[in-house]
Amino acid sequence: MADSPTMGQCDCGAISGPLGVCVDYYHGILAEEQADPQMYRWHAPVVCAYLLQHPSRAHEKYLDGQFRQLQLYMDKGLDALLRVAAHQVARNRRGARPSSDMAPLAAYAPLPPGGSPKHFRATFCGLPFREGSFVSDGHLAYGHRIETIVEATVESWRSVQD
């Protein structure tokens, strides 16, 4: 209860959970999904949402594309996002310039200027971790929780504009 105040709060504004702050949850997810192809399907939204909730850990030039990827996910679903991500990987392998990969994402709003949000209604350190797993109650339930984090991320970024 009397922990040092800097230990208890993540830089996204969330109060840390049993595993620690969001980076501890993020690393836990990345480790678990490596051995679980079904869980790995949510890799792209996990990475994009994590970086947009913690932009000081991200490369600023990629945040706009990551913000658009989350909007595509909310609009068209996970399969559509996976197709775009696969397309981007293929383009990168051929050495195309990153800007040429933006075509499927061009329809979506750019990252709002004016600084990063200070609060998100759903965060990584709020994810349940039971029996040593993030998917102990099934992949669908896990996917819904990631979706909620994605929605919260886009919602908060949109609100800094106002």
Footprint of Zn ion (CB under 5 A): 10, 12, 14, 22
At closest approach, how far in Å is the CB of 11 from Zn ion? 6
Output the CA–CA distances (angstroms, integers) from residue 108 to 58, 87, 142, 154, in the order listed: 20, 17, 26, 12
The nearer residue to Zn ion, 10 or 70, going by C-beta atoms, is 10
Question: Which one, of 80, 90, 85, 83, lies nearest residue 66 by Cα?
Answer: 85
At closest approach, how far in Å is the CB of 77 from Zn ion? 26
Output the CA–CA distances (angstroms, integers) from residue 100 to 88, 90, 97, 143, in the order listed: 9, 12, 6, 29
What's the CA angle centered on 160, arms 156 and 145, to 5 degrees? 5
The nearer residue to Zn ion, 10 or 146, going by C-beta atoms, is 10
The nearer residue to Zn ion, 22 or 44, going by C-beta atoms, is 22
25-51 per-residue burial string, b: 16 or more CB within 10 A, e: under 16? bbebbeebbeeeeebebbbbbbbbbbb
At closest approach, how far in Å is the CB of 32 from Zn ion? 18
At closest approach, how far in Å is the CB of 103 from Zn ion? 32
The nearer residue to Zn ion, 12 or 135, going by C-beta atoms, is 12
Burial class (CB in 10 A: 0-12, 13-18, 19+), 150: buried
The nearer residue to Zn ion, 3 or 79, going by C-beta atoms, is 3
At closest approach, how far in Å is the CB of 64 from Zn ion? 20
